[in-house]
Structure 1
Amino acid sequence: MLTLITGGTGFVGTAVVRLLLSEGHAVRALARRGSDLQNLNGLDIELAFGDLLDKESLRQAIKGCRRLYHVGAHYSLWEPSPEVFYRVNVDGTRNLLEAAMEEGVGRVVYTSTVGTLGHREDGAPANEKTPVSLDQMTGHYKRSKFLAEEEARGAALRGLPVVIVNPSTPVGPRDIKPTPTGQIIVDFLNRRMPAYIDTGLNFIDVADVARGHLLAAERGQVGERYILGRSNLTLHELFAILGQIAQLPPPRLRVPYQLILPLAYANHWLSHFITKKPPRIPLEGVKMAKRRMFFDNSKAVRELGLPQSPIEQALEEAVRWFTDNGYVKK
């Protein structure tokens, strides 16, 4: 069975590609010309060059495919031109789902994010049913993914068999960019993390995220969404684990949110008007950190059989990979 995947060059996408290949699937990966293909080097896959904004390239890429994993997205906490989020994440998703509908694809897994989910006022972990609205989305990335998820649900109502997965914060090897979370790990390893703020995230092994995609294709209910997560950790707890793995002292200084926010605004201003480069303290990341992004993954565990590998193991693999691949200074 031929399967098309978008975003196969990225962190989560390459994990999905490798798992599909290990289970005997024929894989076609959509990639833009000029993309960094190092995560796909040496893999027995077919490359289809195209773009989410080029409808004809999508029609050609999806021909003959019975399954589609739409993992690709524009993921960043800052861009000089925010409209790129909406073009790629919203318009691109709509274009791809329309092509899948035309081709009669038998199952689609759309990769969203826990960033589109709500938060509970009592601080308890949120789930797929926690109320949320577009107005509650912080920043253009989360807003665009919220709107893209609506495109996926709309396609499901029109008859396309779409299942939505919402990964939390994956960690592990081959985070080549790296992602914002990977950059936190790299900065810690390079002793560039002198302090932390009182926030928290849900972390999961990227290999479990990949398995969750395949399980969603096999067992997921059309139109439903599933949180692919594992461990709720504060940043303080994360750095304590990384410190044990890397034999480095974790940061001891906790910076108040009220202090870091004006610094983030200043960084944002400098990036937007002066440097045109990503800020060292991303404003959207700081705004997200105001709440602990803790989530309840029990639906995915119960209905999909989502594996729950120890997060310490995934962090150890991430540290080893970043160290072995030149991200950590000697």
Structure 2
Amino acid sequence: MKKALVTGATGHLGFNLCLELKKKYNVFAFCRKNSNIKRLQKNNIKIIYGDVTKFEDFYSASIGKNYIIHAAAIYSHDEKLRDITLDTAIKSAENFCKLFLKLKIDKGIYISSVSVLGLNYYENIKKNLKIINSSNDPYVNSKLTSYKIVKDEIKKYKFPISLVLPSSMIGLNDFRITPSTSNIKNMIKTPIGIYVNGGINLVNVTDVCKSIALILKKKNNKTYILSGHNIKIKDLVKKVRQISNRIDFSLMLSKSFFIFLYNLFKYTGLNFLVPFPLNINQIKNIGKFSYFDSVDAKREKLFKNTPLEKTLRQCIRNLDY
């Protein structure tokens, strides 16, 4: 069996990737020493300890591997984590590309995000790769910077690396609760359904993993958008609350109201007692639409969508609310 190394293997995408790739490959999980690896071990995934920001660690783990899937990242919009989020993204992206100069690797996958394509004020569906110039959001900035690094190296050296841009992933095995799943949880926990104007694209993490497994076989260095279902926040709140048997009554809140609450928490010190769920960058994006379509992946028969209701039910089963 060919060998595949997965970074970020204890995360939502990384863990599900290990399970999917295990069907055809000898899978190795590249993890930090303080990571919780119990679920990986329970599924007979081999563990290699190291740090993606340290090239010698990454290089040693990659020796003899046919495929490298780099899914490690700090998934946080927290301003306090801005520096470490960006530093991790830059160093790990540089190290990932450097591996292809030093080792003979059949194929690499670099996991980015549709966030590098930006948002729309209207319900326009983005089908093409038009990268934004910059972002103030710590997570989006890290993804954008690392995307450019990998894309430039692919262009320069013709590396056999595909960039994958998934939308907001939810679904099975989200043990630590990602921000995407946390949003679903908040829709359930509130006494009534609270929503803002705008829309989002949700994709099943299992669909992303199956697509990545197929992209590994492609001898190209294309970039693929992997998106699921475009849905208004209003409709999403209603659907989530129906599935979880909550009161089907919703109330729209404005951007100005969230700015008022944000400043109230900030200047009264309430944020030290109860963290405000959104940062100022997220509030600024209220009312925008994150709509995408996986045109190329679908055309090449690399991607299929699970029905949205099934995806939401899988996501909700992760939650203890």
- Structure 2 length-normalised TM: 0.91
Of 231-240 and 38-47, the range deviating more from structure 2: 38-47
The 1-side partners of 2:191 and 2:60 are apart by 46
Residue 20 of structure 1 is matched in structure 2 by 21
The separation in 1 between residues aligned to 2:33 and 2:174, in whole angstroms, is 20
Q: Does the residue aligned with 1:241 lie in a helix, a strand or coil?
A: helix
Moved more, 287-296 or 12-21: 287-296
Q: Which stretches in structure 2 are left out of the alignment for 5+ residues?
A: none
**Which string of whole-angstrom CA distances, capped at 9 and with x for unpartnered residues, describes residues 22-45 of structure 1?**
x22101111111112244241222
- Rate the CA distance shift 1:120–1:189 in 2: closer, same or farther, 3 A: closer
Contact 1:267 1:283 in 2 (8 A): no
Aligned-pair CA distance for 1:226: 1.1
Counterpart selection for 1:290 from 287, 291, 301: 287
Structure 2 residue 246 is matched with structure 1 residue 248 = yes
Q: Does 2:83 align with 1:83? A: yes
Distance 1:260 1:220 in 2: 47
Equivalent residues in 2 for 1:1-40, closer than 5 Å: 1-21=2-22, 23-40=23-40
Q: Which residue is 2:195 aligned to?
A: 196
Checking the alignment, whether the CA contact within 8 Å between 1:117 and 1:127 is kept in structure 2 is: no
In 1, distance between residues paired with 2:150 and 2:123?
Answer: 29
Counterpart-to-counterpart distance in 1, 2:273 and 2:162: 37
Q: Which residue of 1 aligns with 2:140?
A: 142
Letter in 1 for 2:293: D
**What aligned pairs does 1:7-156 form with structure 2 within 5 A after superposition?**
7-21=8-22, 23-119=23-119, 123-129=123-129, 131-135=130-134, 137-156=135-154
Is residue 2:188 matched to residue 1:183? no
Q: Which moved more, 1:4-13 or 1:154-163?
A: 154-163
Q: Is the 8 A contact 2:63 2:103 kept in 1?
A: yes
Which runs of no fewer than 5 residues in structure 1 stay unpaired?
none
Of 276, 281, 304, the match for 2:278? 281
Structure 1 window deviating more from structure 2 (213-222 vs 201-210): it is 213-222
Residue pair 2:31, 2:51 contacting (<8 A) in 1 also: yes
Percent identity at matched positions?
Answer: 21
| Equivalenced residues, count | 319
Are 2:306 and 1:305 equivalent residues in the alignment?
no
Give the RMSD, CA atoms, in angstroms.
2.3
Corresponding residue for 2:231?
233
Q: CA 1:25 to 1:148, structure 2 compared with 1: closer, same or farther past 3 Å?
A: same
Residue by residue over 1:47-95, the C-alpha shift from the partner in whole angstroms, topping out at 9 and shown as x without a partner, is: 1111122111111110101101111111101041411111111121111
Instruction: Judge which range, 71-80 or 250-259, deviates more.
Output: 250-259
Query: Structure 1 residues 270 and 232, CA, compared in 2 at 3 Å: closer, same or farther?
Result: farther
